[in-house]
A = this chain, B = another copy of it.
Amino acid sequence: MNEHTVLVVDDESAIRDMLRMVLDIAGFGFTEAENIQDAHVRVLEDKPDIILLDWMLPGGSGIELLRRLKRDEHTRDLPVIMLTAKTSEDNIVQGLDVGADDYITKPFAPRELVARIKSLLRRSAVGENAQRLQMAELVLDQESHRIFLGEEVVEAGPTEYRLLRFFMSHPERAYSRANLLDSVWGVNVYVEERTVDVHIRRLRMALRTSTLDYSHLIQTVRGTGYRFSSRDLMSADAANLNTRAV
């Protein structure tokens, strides 16, 4: 596997040094920034694969950077782990929409941190390597950031795009609404679970064009959540037609 680069954003150099050592031992590349402005530059220049972002930063809190990253098309999918001090800021964390992919409270065990980083990288790895996700005539092209159904381009909003991408990279598996919120919206995002239903509907409608109807790929698992699957009532062979990267 290629070496993954981790960007650490923290204003305390002691912590950065500590993390540099930990990450080095774990075999990760390392780059750092001590404020938001610097961090943004590092993101663009060093193209890290994941960001460890301290919550409390001078010159704009971490959430500011997070928002900015999530707003930009090109950086939206960069996995971010928030580092939160284990004190009263907990309250703040809970009240705000964060949208990070994971978070960890200080102090943390290096082992745990590394495990979470690997987990996140693994999760986004599917998307990294594969520019295109395909199932039969349904193609999600991450390069052009578009969805194709047969010859037609599927009209879908950003959220539906991410939802479909998540589903296509994790097919044949049931996810609860909470799971989907965590994976597609981000952890600590305060959104009603029912909202997922609405986006599922929007996605299903998008997957129905004048000539093709792939809406059945998004299946309801009653009492549990949803699932993306090629086989509903069809033969098991269709299962081997798993989503594949092209």
A residues at B contact (CB < 8 Å)? 86-87, 89-94, 96-97, 105, 107, 109, 111-112, 115, 122, 125-126, 143-146, 148, 150-153, 157-158, 172-176, 178-179, 182, 221-225, 227, 229, 231-233, 235-237
- B122 contacts A176, C-beta separation under 8 Å: yes
State how many copies of this chain the complex holds: 2
Extra contacts besides A91-B111, A144-B172, A153-B231 (7): CB < 8 Å:
A90-B111, A122-B176, A126-B176, A143-B174, A145-B174, A146-B174, A157-B222
- A145 contacts B227, C-beta separation under 8 Å: yes
- B151 contacts A235, C-beta separation under 8 Å: yes
Interface of A is mostly: mixed
Given contacts A143-B172, A151-B235, A153-B233, contact A126 B87 (CB under 8 A): no
- B112 contacts A221, C-beta separation under 8 Å: no
Within the assembled complex, what's the spacing in Å between the Cα atoms of A158 and B222? 7
Given contacts A143-B174, A144-B174, A227-B144, contact A233 B152 (CB under 8 A): yes
Which listed residue (B96, B112, B145, B146) contacts A111, Cβ 8 A? B96
12 residue pairs from A and B, CB less than 8 Å apart: A87-B107, A90-B112, A93-B109, A96-B112, A122-B179, A143-B172, A144-B229, A145-B224, A145-B227, A146-B227, A150-B236, A152-B236
Residues on the B chain within 8 Å of A112, using CB: 86, 90, 96, 105
Residues on the B chain within 8 Å of A221, using CB: 145
Within the assembled complex, what's the spacing in Å between the Cα atoms of A126 and B97? 24
Within the assembled complex, what's the spacing in Å between the Cα atoms of A229 and B172? 28
Q: Which residue of B lies closest to A125 (CB)?
A: B176
- B232 contacts A153, C-beta separation under 8 Å: yes
Within the assembled complex, what's the spacing in Å between the Cα atoms of A172 and B153? 13
Residues on the B chain within 8 Å of A237, using CB: 151
Q: How near does chain B come to A213, taking the closest CB pair, in angstroms?
A: 18
Which listed residue (B92, B109, B173) contacts A89, Cβ 8 A? B109
Q: How near does chain B come to A65, taking the closest CB pair, in angstroms?
A: 20
Residues on the B chain within 8 Å of A115, using CB: 94
Given contacts A115-B94, A158-B222, A158-B223, contact A178 B125 (CB under 8 A): yes
Q: How near does chain B come to A98, taking the closest CB pair, in angstroms?
A: 12
